[in-house]
């Protein structure tokens, strides 16, 4: 019986017209004029593809599926190709549906559905297989990098079809890379590179590479966190605004660097710290338990790592216990470091006072001159005949015109 079925498959494949004429002549007429109906199918690599062929009406004429190599897969409900991935889902006089499981890129192509009328009618369906990209890898970075060094980060993925898209992010901000696509058989290898100079701001920054593809519901991502070695940066903070005798005073050396600079070193006036009990060094802190005038001077903190060395200075000026003066003046004098790390500049203070006095004198002179220009009124005409009068009253009485009540005209001297 099995041998007979195989002979029928061979006859159907090689001489379909003769077979139908001899065996089902009357039935062949029912399928004349119509073509089988198929649809293109897209499937992700590794998935399953259902290939369906239909006819609107049929009189038991056989349907057949063939692969791109024109090998018969199924003839009706009879399997013709020994491939365990291919199975029959439905076989009737009007439909032939098969399933191809574990689809690979090599399965892509034109599949043919044939209706064995006379002549044979065929319709083709294209099976598109999407190549799933592999998870990306970031290469080119050797931890740690040195500040000022140029590095190249390369993100690559293989196996995508069509070619995948790669996006870069610096923390949460997108940055642009240089894309390169190469074909590898039926799939593609995609690379994207970032080239830049690193500095201390890149230390601890996360660079993320994301791969997007039509076959993926969400992008594949991978992240590289940069470690950058850089020289220390040092600052000194202090606990008091106005250091006064008898007070507790603390300086802290704040240093930033990678690797972390340990330990930090303290110096005073270019030499070692005085060996006194009041002065205590604990890690990054220098503490003076009871201030006095002998503590005046310039204190320097120094921090080092294998990249470099950095230092900062603080000039301490200890004031009397009950330091007088307005609050603003006290604040001005309180931090000698605000004056360029050289303590109170008495010449500068004297210059400011001299300028204030000079401006005040100028204002007094200008005001006095202004008042002098507007100080009184004057008669512009004296009574004529005053030359012969024995006194001023007689001159006015004997004046020409006898204008005893002459109008007094005013003139301002400007």
Per-residue pLDDT of 194-233, as tens digits, reads 999 999 999 999 999 999 999 999 999 999 999 999 999 9
Residues 262 and 163 in one domain: no
Shared-domain flag, residues 288 and 196 = no
Q: Are the beta carbons of 279 and 286 closer than 8 angstroms?
A: yes
Q: What percent of the chain has pLDDT over 70?
A: 76
Question: In terms of domains, do 107 and 9 share one?
Answer: yes
363: in domain = no
Residue 141 shares a structural domain with residue 90: no
In-domain check, residue 374:
no
Asked if the structure places residue 395 within a domain, the reply is no
**In the prediction, which pLDDT does 375 show?**
55
Residue 357, pLDDT score = 85
pLDDT band at 331, cuts 50/70/90?
very low
Judgement on whether residues 121 and 7 belong to the same structural domain of the protein: yes
- 300 in a structural domain: yes
Of the three residues 107, 130, 153, the one that is the final residue of a domain is 130
Verify that 15 and 126 share a domain, yes or no: yes
Residue 25 falls within a domain, yes or no? yes
Residues 236 and 202 in one domain: no
CA 345 to chain centre: 46
Query: Which among 174, 178, 162, 169 has a CA at the least distance from the CA of 215?
Result: 162
Is residue 359 a part of any domain in this protein? no
Same domain flag for 122 and 40: yes
* Same domain, yes or no: 33 and 109: yes
What HEC string does 109-163 produce? EEEEEEECCCCCEEEEEEEEEEECCCCCEEECCCCCEECCCEEEEEEEEEEEECC
Alpha carbons 33 and 27: distance in angstroms, whole number: 13
| pTM for this prediction | 0.63
Q: What is the mean pLDDT of residues 47-67?
A: 91
pLDDT surpasses 70 at 2: no
β-sheet bridge partners, residue 64 = 75, 114
Pick from 153, 158, 283, 252: nearest CA to 209: 153
> How confident is the model at residue 240, as a pLDDT?
87
What is the structure's pLDDT at 34? 82
User: Helix or strand or coil: residue 389?
Assistant: coil
Residue 374 has a pLDDT of 61
State whether 65 and 146 are in the same domain. Answer: no
Q: Which domain holds residue 295?
A: 231-339
- Write down which residue in 75, 105, 130 finishes a domain: 130
Where is pLDDT greater, at 387 or 47?
47
Q: With bands split at pLDDT 50, 70 and 90, how would you rate the model's confidence at 9?
A: very low
| Confidence at residue 17, expressed as pLDDT on a 0 to 100 scale | 35
Name which of 303, 205, 226, 300 is nearest 257 in CA terms: 303
**Confidence class of residue 304 from pLDDT cuts 50, 70 and 90?**
very high
Confidence of residue 404 (pLDDT cuts 50, 70, 90): very low
Q: For residue 344, is it within any domain?
A: no
CA dihedral angle for residue 228, residue 234, residue 238, residue 244, rounded to 10 degrees: 170
Question: Where among 314, 339, 364 does a domain terminate?
Answer: 339
Going from the C-alpha of 2 to that of each of 93, 221, 225, 395, the distances in angstroms are 22, 54, 65, 167
> 303 and 259 in one domain?
yes
Report the percent of the chain where pLDDT is more than 90: 61
pLDDT score, position 58: 78
Residue 43 maps to which CATH number? 2.60.40.10
The sheet with strand 249-258 has its strands ordered as 145-146, 228-238, 249-258, 285-288, 279-282
Domain count, the chain: 3
**Which two three-digit tokens encode residue 169?**
């992010």
- Residue 377 inside a domain? The answer is no
If asked whether residues 309 and 191 sit together in one domain, one would say no
């Amino acid at each position: 019986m099995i041998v007979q079925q195989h002979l029928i498959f061979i006859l159907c494949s090689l001489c379909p017209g003769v077979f139908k004429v001899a065996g089902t002549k009357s039935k062949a007429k029912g399928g004349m004029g119509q073509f089988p109906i198929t649809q293109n199918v897209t499937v992700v690599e590794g998935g399953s593809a259902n290939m369906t062929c239909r006819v609107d009406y049929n009189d038991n004429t056989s349907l057949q599926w063939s692969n791109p190599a024109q090998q018969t897969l199924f003839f009706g409900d009879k399997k013709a190709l020994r491939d365990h991935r291919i199975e029959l889902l439905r076989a009737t006089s009007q439909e032939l549906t098969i399933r191809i499981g574990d689809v690979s890129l090599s399965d892509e192509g034109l599949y043919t559905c044939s209706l064995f009328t006379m002549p044979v009618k065929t319709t083709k369906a294209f099976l598109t297989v999407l190549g799933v990209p592999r998870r990306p890898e970031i290469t080119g970075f050797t931890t740690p990098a040195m500040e000022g060094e140029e590095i190249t980060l390369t993100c690559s993925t293989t196996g995508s079809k069509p070619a995948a898209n790669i996006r870069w992010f610096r923390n949460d901000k997108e940055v642009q890379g240089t894309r390169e696509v190469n074909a590898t058989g039926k799939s593609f290898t995609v690379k994207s590179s970032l080239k830049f100079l690193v500095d201390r701001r890149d230390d601890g920054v996360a660079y993320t590479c994301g791969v997007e593809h039509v076959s993926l519901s969400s992008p594949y991502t991978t992240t590289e966190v940069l470690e950058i070695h850089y020289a220390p940066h040092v600052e000194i903070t202090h606990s008091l605004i106005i250091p006064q005798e008898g007070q507790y005073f603390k300086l802290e050396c704040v240093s930033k660097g990678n690797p972390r600079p340990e330990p930090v070193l303290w110096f005073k006036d270019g030499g070692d710290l005085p060996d006194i009990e009041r002065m205590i060094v604990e890690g990054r802190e220098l503490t003076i338990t009871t201030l006095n005038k002998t503590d005046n001077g310039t204190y320097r903190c120094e921090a080092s790592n294998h990249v470099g060395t950095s230092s900062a200075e603080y000039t301490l000026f200890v004031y009397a216990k009950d330091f007088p003066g307005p609050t603003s003046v006290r604040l001005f004098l309180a931090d000698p470091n605000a004056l360029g790390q050289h303590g109170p500049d008495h010449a500068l203070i004297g210059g400011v006072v001299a300028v204030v006095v000079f401006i005040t004198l100028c204002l007094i002179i200008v005001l006095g001159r202004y008042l002098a220009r507007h100080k009184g009124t004057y008669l512009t005409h004296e009574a004529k005949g005053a030359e012969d009068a024995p006194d001023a009253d007689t001159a006015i009485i004997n004046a020409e015109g006898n204008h005893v009540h002459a109008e007094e005209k005013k003139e301002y001297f400007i």
